[in-house]
Amino acid sequence: MALAEAVLATLILIATFGLLIARQVRGAITGYAAQSILLGGLAIAMFAGSRLPHLLALGLLTIGIKGFAIPAVVRFQVRGPTYRRREIAYYVGFPTALLVGAGLSLVGLVAASRLPFHPYLLSEPVLGLAIAVILLGLFTTMARRDAVLQLAGLLAAENGVLLVGLVVSPELGLLIEFALVLDVVIGVAVMGFLIARMHETVASTDTSELSRLRG
């Protein structure tokens, strides 16, 4: 079971890399959905081993809301040309992004190995992978100019935080999940509203169009 969990955690990191280098909004949303479904799957795998009912609820909630509902809402909000558009302008190029991403993953793994961690249901390397997912998600938000991709980066980082929650304490994980679901659902609604306003105001979701405020 430990092997299955380690494999799922590694796949979550790979899905986050997919999101980091996605060239289309469509690809980034799919990357986020895949990451969320894998995270839900990990919680369910942990339930199978521990029989803690919280973990089943958490897994199903994650798959339902983050794996399907949120991607569907974001797809609906950015349907049309934006959804299919291939992004050609970004702050950090893809080869550089991959290199930085690899470096950040290493930082996550090293940082986790230095912390005096008390293993509960998941092992220490999973904590490293979770920190790497957070760093990659935040880096995606900084590296991309498109508002939808920036949103996807934040959502991916938030999944990384939930993974840390699962490592630290499954019971706390449920509390954190409820807080995050609330935050994510409302956050997606507010950010979705602002993205729609961007469409109206600058006819684009490219945040580099929003650069009048300085000093």
Partner 1 sequence: MTDPGLLVLVVALPLVAALISLVCSARLQIALALVFQVGTFGVALALIARILVVGRIDAFAHWLYLDSLSAVVMLVAAVVSVLATFYSAGYLRHELQHRVIKTDELRKYFVLFHLFVFAMLLVTIAGNLGLLWTAISATTLASAPLVDFYGSHEPLEAAWKYIVLTVAGSLLALLGLLLLYQSGVASLGNSYDFSIPVLAGAASHLSPTLASTAFLLILVGFGTKAGLAPMHTWLPDAHSQAPSPICAMLSGAELNCAMLGIFRVYTLTAPAAGAATLRTGMLVFGLVSMSVAVVFLISQRNFKRLLAYSSVEQMGLISVGVGLGNPVALIGALLLVVTHGFTKCLMFFATGNLVLRFRSTTIPEIRGVVRAMPWTAVLLIGGALAIAGAPPFGVFISEFSIIAGAFAGHFWVLGALVAALLLLGFIPLVAPFHRMTFSNADTGGEVAQAELSAVTLLPALVLLGAVLVIGVWIPNPLNQLLHHAAAVMTR
Interface residues with partner 1 (CB under 8 A) are 114-118, 120, 131, 134, 137-138, 141, 147, 150, 154, 157-158, 161, 164-165, 168-169, 171-172, 175-176, 179-180, 182-183, 186-187, 190-191, 193-194, 197-198, 201-202, 207, 210-213, 215
3-class SS shares of the chain: helix, strand, coil, % to 5: 80, 0, 15
- Can you tell me the distance from the alpha carbon of 185 to that of 66, in angstroms, rounded to the nearest whole number? 9
Q: Which is nearer to partner 1, 83 or 117 (CB)?
A: 117
* Gap between the Cα atoms of 209 and 146, Å rounded: 10
**Start-to-end Cα distance in the chain:** 54
Residue 14 or 172 with smaller CB distance to partner 1: 172
Q: Closest distance between partner 1 and the C-beta of residue 113, in Å?
A: 12
Nearer to partner 1, 1 or 115 (CB): 115
Question: Which CB atom, from 102 or from 172, has the smaller least distance to partner 1?
Answer: 172
* Closest to 87 measured CA to CA, from 154, 32, 138, 145: 145
- Nearest approach, Cβ of 146 to partner 1 (angstroms)? 12
Distance (Å, rounded) from C-alpha 155 to C-alpha 74?
A: 12
Give the number of other CB atoms < 10 A from CB of residue 145: 17
Minimum Å gap between C-beta 105 and partner 1 is 16
Work out how close the CB of 137 gets to partner 1 at its nearest, in angstroms, rounded to a whole number.
Answer: 8
User: In this complex, which beta carbon is closest to partner 1, that of residue 10 or of residue 141?
Assistant: 141
Region of 85 on the Ramachandran plot (φ > 0 left; ψ -120 to 50 alpha; else beta): beta
CB of 190 to partner 1, least distance (A): 5
Helix-helix angle 25-50:147-168, to 10 degrees? 10
